[in-house]
Structure 1
Amino acid sequence: MALRNFNLEKYLKDGANTYAQRANIEAMADHVSEKGFDNLVILGIGGTWAEWYPVVKVMEHYTKLPVHLENAAEILVKADKDFLTESSCVVTASASGDTKEILQAVKMVKGMGIPVYGFTKNAETPLAKLLTEAVYNPCGDCEDSYLMYFMFALRLLCNRGEYEDYPRWADQMKNVHKNLVRIREEFEPRAKELAQKYAKEPYTMFVGSGVLWGETYLFSMCILEEMQWVRTKSVTSADFFHGPLELVEKDVPLFLVKGEDEYRELDERVERFAKTVTDKLEVFDTKAFDLEGIDDDFRVICSPMIITAILTERLAVHYELVTGHSLQFRRYYRQFDY
């Protein structure tokens, strides 16, 4: 099936290039492990913070290592930074390499005598020049970011003896991009239908949880709000019942991102309620999509990649067509200093 505004050859080439970074990512993780560290501190903001979120949620299943996912803007003004020590492993990412808050946070951490590791598009970015060690990859698709971040984090855990399945998982990730192409194709008709139905709604609720909360938040904020100027509300499945449920009415769209981890029962609770109230409930269940050549025990790790493929990469493209508003145009973001 033809996919609107999708370059298959480039996508598969970028995916292969991302996977080819495996040796570099593992080497960076190994250097950190050899040096030794007492905690992991991740610096992100906006979409980058959201992409690291599922990595942290997965790590929680396997390690007792303290892991801190910090907003780069907040850490600059945060009074209590005692968790940042010379024994911390600090990692960050910026695809552009010039995200202002990330650069300021890295400078602060380096000024404390703490090395910082990270990911950016090439060795010439401002971020690259600050990092102690970096992996370079210009690929911009979110699933490429997920793949790299999970490789780094799970390799760290493997080195600690906490995730012995890492080699099997990493080997099978050679298959993930072909799966995500097929998943795009399967979802394309629905993406077109959903955009035509909802792109001009005055307000849409997005609900998700667990490993998929980051991607739920990312799509509603970084894509629909920033890139499409569509008014949204994103809330976790747990918090949905403590305020937002009162705004659900018969004609209010509610998009539920339904995962496969232990938080799924919270998603199902929202689903049961929403079915009784709104006529515009849309459920995006990662269980509906097969992952060929990938073992079932890795599905939770891959689930954010599935959601980014169908929502961030496909639904957004069809919203753009209906709204007539380019995904590339911003009024304020990066347009001037603020």
Structure 2
Amino acid sequence: MLGFNEPEFLAQTASAVALRPQIEELVDRLVDAGFDTLLLVGAGGTYAQMWPYEHLARRTSTLDVRAVIAAELIASGDARLGERTVALFTSVSGTTDDSVRAIEYCKSKGAYTVSFTGHPDSPVATKVDTALISQPKTWPFDFQLLLFMGRLLERRGEFDGYAKLADELAGIPEILVEVAKQAEPVAAAFADAHKDSDYYFLIGGGNLWGFTYLYSMCILEEMQWLRTTRVHSAEFFHGSLELLEENTSVIIFQGEDETRALTDRAESFAKRVSKDVTVFDTRDYPLTGISPEFRGLLAPLVLDTVMSRVSKHLERVRDHSLDLRRYYRVMDY
């Protein structure tokens, strides 16, 4: 597979899943302490990656759980931020300035702070009350977030299947390697067909809306300098559909949760207008060893693996490195 280091991928994902005992001990301690608000704080991709877990909590729990943008939290504040708040952060580098400042802000308000990162000596690790460390460059953080939220919901009596899910996640590194292998020819064909496309219309919903936002902004825009429009499938018919034309490159991310019908509806309309609609559907991947009732929860992980293959092939056909930046962490702002 193009640009895929399988041993490194397996080691990184295994290191995230191996945090289960530490995550469970932490969640138990926090629940016993009686916190009543959970803020999932991020910036850019790490903010978008919080959305599936806010979505999960919103539809299954009465706990106040909210994904918030680090910089906006500092600027606007939050009336419920205080000593009964847990603020959770993620950062690949451990140095994201907005997140570092938000950690300091949350601590100044008395909140208990937690982070997931791969760098134990980084500011995001050293400034929080508890840092749980995976291998460097481990991405995405869905492994840790799903374990954290699953254990939290279980302790609150709002998720009976957590132990079974956590046991099955032990096999997720190998499962995702198989996903990557299956996605490779699909990714190569997509990239070859879209070498000259300079505008993409992305649609997703449910627990894949965060990934839709992330792939649009952090990959296609930031890493490939391509213009995009991104829209939630439930909002598709309230304005954005007017941008569709016969040659519009449409990417649809389809998952397996209760919002699937909303994305089906958007897909049906998009195909009536555009001749270039590509659907990336998690149902296409077997996920051997994962129970059917958990497949929907794993959709962000599956799509991240699939689209990582697409990203590498876009890099190939466009001769544009995924590491190239003009402004991000290059200029002061």
TM over 0.5: yes
Q: Distance in 1 between matches of 2:238 and 2:137?
A: 36
Q: Which amino acid counterpart does residue 330 of structure 1 have in structure 2? A: R
Question: 2:246: which partner in 1?
Answer: 250
Aligned to 1:61, which of 52, 59, 78? 59
Q: Distance in 1 between matches of 2:125 and 2:11?
A: 23
Shift of 1:182: 1.1
Question: 2:228: which partner in 1?
Answer: 232
Q: Distance in 1 between matches of 2:58 and 2:292?
A: 19
Q: Is the 8 A contact 1:28 1:134 kept in 2?
A: no
Alignment partner of 2:124: what SS?
coil
Q: Is the 8 A contact 2:117 2:136 kept in 1?
A: no
Q: Distance in 1 between matches of 2:240 and 2:63?
A: 34
Q: Is the 8 A contact 2:202 2:230 kept in 1?
A: yes
Unaligned 5+ segments in structure 2 are: none
Aligned to 1:241, which of 200, 222, 237? 237
Question: 1:213: which partner in 2?
Answer: 209
Q: Which amino acid counterpart does residue 319 of structure 1 have in structure 2? A: L
Q: Which amino acid counterpart does residue 4 of structure 1 have in structure 2? A: L
Q: 1:218 to 1:109 in 2, by over 3 A?
A: same
Q: Is the 8 A contact 2:92 2:139 kept in 1?
A: no
Q: Distance in 2 between matches of 1:67 and 1:262?
A: 20
Question: 1:164: which partner in 2?
Answer: 160
Shift of 1:142: 3.3
Q: Is the 8 A contact 1:59 1:154 kept in 2?
A: no
Length-normalised TM-score, structure 2 = 0.97
Alignment partner of 1:91: what SS?
strand
1:169-205 per-position Cα deviation (integer Å, ceiling 9, x unaligned)? 0000012121111111111111111111114212110
Q: Note the 1:309-324 alignment, pairs <5 A.
A: 309-311=305-307, 313-324=308-319
Q: Which amino acid counterpart does residue 184 of structure 2 have in structure 1? A: E
Q: Is the 8 A contact 1:175 1:292 kept in 2?
A: no
Question: 1:202: which partner in 2?
Answer: 198
Q: Distance in 1 between matches of 2:62 and 2:136?
A: 32
Shift of 1:153: 1.3
Aligned to 2:331, which of 321, 324, 336? 336
Length-normalised TM-score, structure 1 = 0.95
Q: Which amino acid counterpart does residue 328 of structure 1 have in structure 2? A: D
- Aligned length in residues: 333
Q: Distance in 1 between matches of 2:106 and 2:12?
A: 32
Alignment partner of 2:222: what SS?
helix
Q: Is the 8 A contact 2:117 2:132 kept in 1?
A: yes
Q: Which moved more, 1:60-69 or 1:164-173?
A: 60-69
Q: Distance in 1 between matches of 2:160 and 2:107?
A: 32
Shift of 1:115: 1.8
Q: Which amino acid counterpart does residue 213 of structure 1 have in structure 2? A: W
Shift of 1:141: 4.4
Q: Note the 1:275-294 alignment, pairs <5 A.
A: 275-294=271-290
Q: Which amino acid counterpart does residue 171 of structure 1 have in structure 2? A: D
Aligned to 2:125, which of 117, 124, 128? 128
Shift of 1:55: 1.4
Aligned to 2:103, which of 100, 103, 106? 106
RMSD: 1.3
Shift of 1:256: 0.7
Aligned to 1:182, which of 171, 178, 182? 178
Alignment partner of 2:246: what SS?
coil
Identical-pair percentage: 37
Q: Which amino acid counterpart does residue 328 of structure 2 have in structure 1? A: Y
Q: Distance in 2 between matches of 1:224 and 1:7?
A: 22
Question: 2:70: which partner in 1?
Answer: 72
Q: Distance in 2 between matches of 1:187 and 1:256?
A: 15
Shift of 1:244: 1.5
Q: Which amino acid counterpart does residue 50 of structure 1 have in structure 2? A: A
1:198-234 per-position Cα deviation (integer Å, ceiling 9, x unaligned)? 1421211000001001111111110111111111111
Shift of 1:139: 4.4
| Matching of residue 88 in structure 1 with residue 85 in structure 2 | yes
Unaligned 5+ segments in structure 1 are: none
Q: Is the 8 A contact 2:47 2:69 kept in 1?
A: yes
Alignment partner of 2:68: what SS?
strand
Q: Distance in 2 between matches of 1:7 and 1:33?
A: 38
Q: Distance in 1 between matches of 2:202 and 2:135?
A: 30
